Homo-oligomer: A and B are copies of this chain.
Amino acid sequence: MTDADERCVCVIDDDDEVRGALASLFRSAGLTALVYESPSAFLEAGLPDCACCLVLDVRLRGESGLDFQDLLAERAIAIPIVMMTGHGDIPMTVRAMRAGAIDFLPKPFGTEDMLAAVLRAIETDRARRATASDSDRLRSAFARLTPREREVMGLVVTGLMNKQVAGRLNLSEITVKIHRGNVMRKMEAQSLADLVRMAEQLGVRDETIHRYGL
């Protein structure tokens, strides 16, 4: 198994025994298990760079697992969460699921249920990471454009002709053509259709329409 196939589970629970039991369960299933006794310990450690998920108790010493879930969402940390609890009720479940939890397991739970939930969560993360890395490559290419090139790109993918872009930016048409050519090359777009799809994913068009009132 290569590193790229590594699958990892982060467990946050304030009970030593629970942490130990879950860790050995996951390890016996071929997963890497990382255990933390508090949310802050987890945050300080940083996220592992592989398909991973978080197993979280709803009630932690002094902190709510549900609040921590919200905190992760605010910080745009999109790790899938499997929630577990000894004293759960339906409103808690609704809140957790609405916030995007993969599963919500009342204790005591069967080890197969936990394992199934975790595998499901890891698979979700794997898919998310795949699309996120595509999006990242796109974003970094876009970041390498000059400000002018970004402006031209926005107007071009909105459907304006070169001369119209030139008018809006007070440029000559030939200058627009040059910027446009640079954009195609730097973004590695094979065609205008390609560039339009990239722009759509980046939200470039929405931004352009807003800025120029199209």
Contact = CB atoms under 8 A, between A and B. Distances in A.
Interface of A: 88-91, 93-94, 97-98, 103-106, 156-160, 190-194, 196-197, 200
A159 B104 contact: no
15 contacts: A88-B90, A90-B105, A90-B106, A93-B94, A93-B97, A93-B104, A94-B103, A158-B193, A159-B191, A159-B193, A192-B196, A193-B196, A196-B196, A196-B197, A197-B200
A190 B159 contact: yes
A134 to B, nearest CB: 15
A157 B158 CA distance: 15
Contacts of A94: 93, 97, 103-104
A197 B203 CA distance: 13
A173 B94 CA distance: 58
Nearest to A159: B191
Nearest to A195: B193
Given A97-B97, A97-B98, A200-B200, A159 B194 contact: yes
A66 to B, nearest CB: 14
A104 to B, nearest CB: 5
A19 to B, nearest CB: 22
A89 B90 CA distance: 7
